[in-house]
Amino acid sequence: MLFSGAMTALVTPFKNNALDEEAYRNFIEFQITEGIHGLVPCGTTGESATLSHEEHERVIEICIDQAKGRVPVLAGAGSNNTIEAIRLTRFAQKAGATGALLITPYYNKPTQEGLFQHYKAIAEAVDMPLVPYNVPGRTGCNLLPETLARLTKMFSHIVGVKEATGDMAQGSKTLSSSPANFSVLSGDDFTALPLMAMGGKGVISVTSNLVPGRMAAMCNAFNKGDVAESARIHHELFPLHEAMFFESNPIPAKTALHLMGKMEAEMRLPLCPMGEPAKEKLVAVLRQLKLI
């Protein structure tokens, strides 16, 4: 299976408002050394909304080059403009990404038929593995299990979904209507273990930016049948899952990584530095888990 286990939704390090390539390469190496199962550049956590097209492409290129085939790279390539999504997905394929992660079109609020036609157009234009990303809390639309099932019946290279509704009933419906060898991946760290218990294959994680080894260990334990150990790690990390959303993602993650000495705490507007009350709470969690 192409995409399974713990995959990190990578933050994008900046320095003086430019991509910090050295910090980014070092960060990718840290992820792989710690045992992460896959890398996801240019998603929400990577501040893709504020990257120029040139930066977006460069972030993907660096990730592929640094990974050197050691783990899969699922490149963020979605857009609320179908033509642009096709262009970005074609770039990801040409650059050598393992697959493309495709956000549902945000802001436009398409109907289910519009969502079907959007993904159909991309799947007809590009023959690489594709993974729709469903996060209604950010996009204003919900890719329903019935619509996803229509797509997977038509296109075998739609190989998974990032399910970030937080709705376990919808997750169950998605799993029950999915074809064999289809990867239903949690898009929320706190639902990763429950979704795997129902048949999910892993998580595209924010928390693993900080603790890739621990998130990978949780998935490894579950896959070996050690549910008790997987649950222990889940509960151990739950305060960190919550801390990653003390403010809008990726503000807490990038702040924590700065405190851990991994990169600058620089974000692009409209994201801004973490407020002191939330930062104090974050520091307490990081100290509790001995990360700083």
Residue 197 host element (H or E): helix 192-197
> Two tokens at 31?
């992820």
- pTM, full prediction: 0.95
Q: Which residue numbers are catalytic?
A: 133, 162
> Two tokens at 282?
């974050």
What pLDDT, on a 0 to 100 scale, did the predictor assign at position 2?
A: 85
186 forms bridges with which residues in the sheet?
163, 203
Is 45 labelled as part of a ligand binding site? yes
Residue 1 has pLDDT above 90, yes or no: no
What pLDDT, on a 0 to 100 scale, did the predictor assign at position 3?
A: 96
Pairing of strands 160-163, 130-134: parallel
Residue 113 has pLDDT above 90, yes or no: yes
Residue 202 host element (H or E): strand 202-205
Is 204 labelled as part of a ligand binding site? yes
Average pLDDT on 144-172 reads: 96
Instruction: Give the torsion sign (CA, 43, 105, 56, 128).
Output: positive
Q: Give the domain ranges of the chain.
A: 5-226
What pLDDT, on a 0 to 100 scale, did the predictor assign at position 183?
A: 96
Superfamily of the domain at 5-226: Aldolase class I (3.20.20.70)
Confidence of residue 102 (pLDDT cuts 50, 70, 90): very high
Nearest to 204 by CA among 47, 48, 73, 27: 73
How far, CA to CA in Å, does 262 sit from each of 55, 209, 256, 259, 290? 20, 10, 9, 8, 15
pLDDT in tens, 224-264: 999 999 999 999 999 999 999 999 999 999 999 999 999 99
Helical pair 112-125 and 82-95, crossing angle rounded to 10 deg = 30
Residue 194 has pLDDT above 90, yes or no: yes
**Rounded Cα gap, residues 44 and 88, in angstroms:** 15
pLDDT in tens, 13-70: 999 999 999 999 999 999 999 999 999 999 999 999 999 999 999 999 999 999 999 9
